[in-house]
Structure formats: structure tokens, C-alpha cells
Amino acid sequence: MLTLPRTDLKVSNLCFGGNVFGWTADQAQSFELLDHFTEHGGNFIDSADVYSAWKEGNQGGESETVIGNWLQSNGKRNQVVIATKVAFLETRKGLSAANIALACEDSLRRLQTDYIDIYYAHGDDLETDLEETLGAFNELISSGKVRYIAASNYTYDRLAEALRISEANGFAKYVALQNRYSLVAKEPYESDGAKSVQDFGISGLPYSTLGSGFLSGKYKEGESVDSARAVAVGNNYANAENYALLARVEEIAQRHSVSNTSVALEWLRNQPGVTVPIASGRTIDQLTALMQQVTLTADEVAYLG
């Protein structure tokens, strides 16, 4: 376990991404995944109110509902760190004070808990003053409904401005940044996000760390894969440069007798500005692969890119 900077939260070195709950994993499968994760040392779970509104028939909140039902079934609330987000759900869009207050109540109800450990601004809202947003978050912390706040998809400049406003007004400050980062999507994180984390002394908790599953190795050049993420992989990652990178990942994975995903995640842990990577899996085999531990040499880290 490690302690996230500027908090008293002790978390595992992998955060389980809850975007699969209610999407590619139904409630029964999700319960199995969460049981496996916590039984094998994991305690950090990430969700959002918008998960998984993109699935036909869903309206958003499905992931939080599954997590809440799981917590209710086992009484493990005080053993896990729960993060969720506000801003992108169509019916609770943006970061106005009124919307944040309502969205938080919705999330608390679905999660069946009276507090959220980390509550994220899921994306920057340029139409709402940062002071209004941060004041609303501060109210949630003062009331005990939220322990810490964090930012997702923020640039360095906007995060700096948010921290300045919090300091000037005595508001709670963002303690973490959750932006996209992986071996196949290094920018703008390496030039912007990592600088944010290092300069401001906060946690870097990157998402999409496996390139929509591309780095798992199941996507082979010239072959089709039956996956909900196949289109995203084809559009964003399936190119000669990334297949060459994937070959290097596989080489190192075979050397250590571990999964591709464990190598890709450990590369991230060795990067400046990364505290804990977030990753998801829809089967026990995938989750087991994510949770494998491996130690990479400096040469291997450099070889990967």
C-alpha cells in the first residue's frame, strides 16, 4: 500500500477502473471481479456518474449502482477507496455549484454510502467560473460527503489556476490529476500532465493505460477481434509503430513470464508523474493479468520507450 500525496488515503498500486461494470460485465460478473480484486490486495476503485451511459439501454450511473450493491452485500466500505466523477453525464452536465451538489447526492445514493473518498471534476468546464466549482466542492468536503477532490482532463494552466483560487479562498485543493497516458498515448501527458503532478505535488492517476486493451496483445495485425473496444483500437492504435512497440512489450513479458498488461502498467509506474495507474478488465483472467507484479530494469523501461 502507498499513501497518496496530500491525503491520508492508503491505496493499492493498481486502481480498478469501473467503466466495465454495467457495460461489458453484468452485476454478477462485476461482483466476482471486485471480490477477486479485493481478495488479492486491491482496494482502489474508480468510477464516474456517466459510466456506462454509452451502452444502449443505459442512462448512466450503472457502474456506481453495481459498486453500491457490492458494498451493501459485503460491508467492505471502510476497506476500499472509492473515487467517482461529475461533469459528463448528460442529465448532470457541467461543474456549476447546483449541478455538483445534485450529482453528488445521486452518486452517494447509487453507491449506497455517505461519503466519497475522491470526487473528480471529470473534465474542465469553461462556462463555469472555477471559483464557483471549487466553492461547491469545498462545501461537500465541509459537510463530510467528500473526503478529497481531484481533477481529470485538466491542462497544466487550468489546474494551476484552480489551485491558486483554492489557496486564495481557503478552499480544499485538488489532490490528484487523472489524464490519459500509456505507452501508445504519451502526449499531452508527458509534456503537460506530468509537469502538473510534479510541480504541484499531487498524485498522477492516469487512465486508458492499456490503449483500450491494445497493449494486452490480443489485437494482432491484420486480424479482427470480437471486443467492445475493437473500433477504438483500430482507429487510434493499430499502426506499424505501435505493433513494433507491442512486440517489445511481449518480449519483456516473456522474459519475466508475466502478462503484457503487467509490463505496460509497470512501465507507467516508472514514469515521472505517475503514482497509480488505472486499468480495467471484464474477466477474472484479465484482472489477474493486470494484478501480476513485475520489476523492470532501467534498461527495460528505456527499451519500451
Could you tell me if 66 and 47 are in contact, meaning their C-beta atoms sit under 8 angstroms apart?
no
From the list 51, 120, 148, 156, the catalytic residue is: 51
H-run or E-run covering 267 = helix 260-269
Q: Which residues pair with 121 in a beta bridge?
A: 86, 151
Distance from C-alpha of 287 to C-alpha of 120, rounded to nearest angstrom: 24
Instruction: Report the amino acid identity of residue 295.
Output: T
Can you spell out the DSSP letters for 197-223? HHHHT-EE--B-TTTTTGGGT---TT-
Q: How far is CA 191 from CA 13, 149, 230, 272, 273, in A?
A: 24, 23, 28, 11, 11
Cβ within 8 Å of residue 239, ≥6 positions away: none
Rounded to 5 degrees, φ, ψ at 41 are 100, -5
Q: How far apart (Å, rounded) are the C-alpha atoms in residues 70 and 139?
A: 28
156 is catalytic: no
CA distance 241 to 174: 36
Q: Give the side-chain half-sphere CA count within 13 A for 216.
A: 21
Q: What whole-number distance in Å separates Cα of residue 94 and Cα of residue 88? A: 7
> Which residue numbers are catalytic?
51
